[in-house]
Amino acid sequence: MDQLKIALVNEDAGETGIQIAKQLSESLPFEIESDYSNEKALQKLEDNKIALLIHIPENFSASAQKGESAEINFTVNEASATMVSSSMSTIVKEINQQLSTSFSTQTAQGILMNMNVPEEQAAAMAQQIENAYVGNYVIINDVPDGMHNSMLPMFLTMACYVGAMIASMQLVQVYKHNRGKASRFKLFGYVQLSALIIAIVSTIFALIVAYLITDLDTAVMLKVAGQQVLLYMAAFNVCAIFTFLIGEAGMIINIPILLSQTIANGATIPREMMYGYYEVVSYITPMYHSVNSYFAVMFGSTDASPFVWGLVAVGVGALIINLLVVTVLHRKEPAPRSIIQ
């Protein structure tokens, strides 16, 4: 958790705001960034570059001195890894509880100096104690309730990847079985064309299911459809590398790579919290790019293009590796098989 970054924006020049900002900077176990404006920090939060934005308004100290509600805004981005959003919610509740207790105590000390007050005035003072501090928990890019919404980017990606992994084993075996009947490059082209047809058909079925169980609109579905086809082709070529190299035994390598991506895909924990191995996996495999692009397209307002281009880079890189394997290792064509009548 200490690898996460949060932004602390203090616009209050008063003593109270400066003191609270200092206490938060010293006590929170995160990397604190305090050199942003509120607008810049909000954009960082939109892009998931920070996990939490704490904003102390410029009238904070003045409100506290006047006996009015002193407010601090805590903003989180729900279109992010589930561990980040849930952890930030817990941390904000703890901060608010401590600050509320502190402000109530200070307000009560001032009020106790005025004893034997009328009933109506006593009620007003009690209300003043209760509202001495207000911590606003603000959510941007709200994700609808339910696991079918929050985990849709991950499960849609995993379903596509597993299907592509199985198809890579089957289609490459067909490629090897038919060597000698056509050139290896023509057969390689047939393999890619077959994978593309499967990608389009499987995407139709996947999005029908997604449409039936979620509230995504048609415009979002069209964007998801294009990425789902791209993801399938990228995942297919990544998995096909090992099948082209060592045949069916390549599944022995593909399965742990798949399992590694369940941690490294960014749906549960962000890249900042990953150990080195998983962080490397997140860069060179398709799932991380796909999951974060889906979060941006389905629930967020940030730009999905960096993740889409990352997915393209992984797919093109895997395709080039497969072409090299076919060119170098499959140079010798097998003798044509005799047909036994």
Written as tens digits, the pLDDT of the chain (341 aa) is 888 999 999 998 888 788 888 888 888 888 898 888 999 999 999 999 999 999 999 988 888 777 677 788 999 999 999 889 888 988 898 888 888 777 655 544 444 345 454 445 444 444 444 456 778 899 999 888 888 888 999 999 999 999 999 999 999 999 988 988 888 899 999 999 999 999 999 999 999 998 888 878 888 888 899 999 999 999 999 999 999 999 888 889 999 999 999 999 999 999 989 999 999 999 999 999 999 999 999 988 789 999 999 999 999 999 999 999 999 987 766 555 554 44
Non-local CB neighbours of 178 within 8 Å, separated by 6+ positions:
187
Read off the amino acid at residue 324.
Answer: L
The answer to whether 257 and 168 are in contact (CB under 8 A) is no
Q: Rounded to two decimals, what is the model's pTM?
A: 0.84
The answer to whether 253 and 241 are in contact (CB under 8 A) is no
3-state secondary structure (DSSP) of residue 31? strand
Give the Cα separation of 204 and 211 in Å (integer).
11
Give the Cα separation of 293 and 305 in Å (integer).
8
3-state secondary structure (DSSP) of residue 75? strand
For the chain, domains (ranges, CATH) are 5-140 (3.40.1710.10), 147-328 (no CATH)
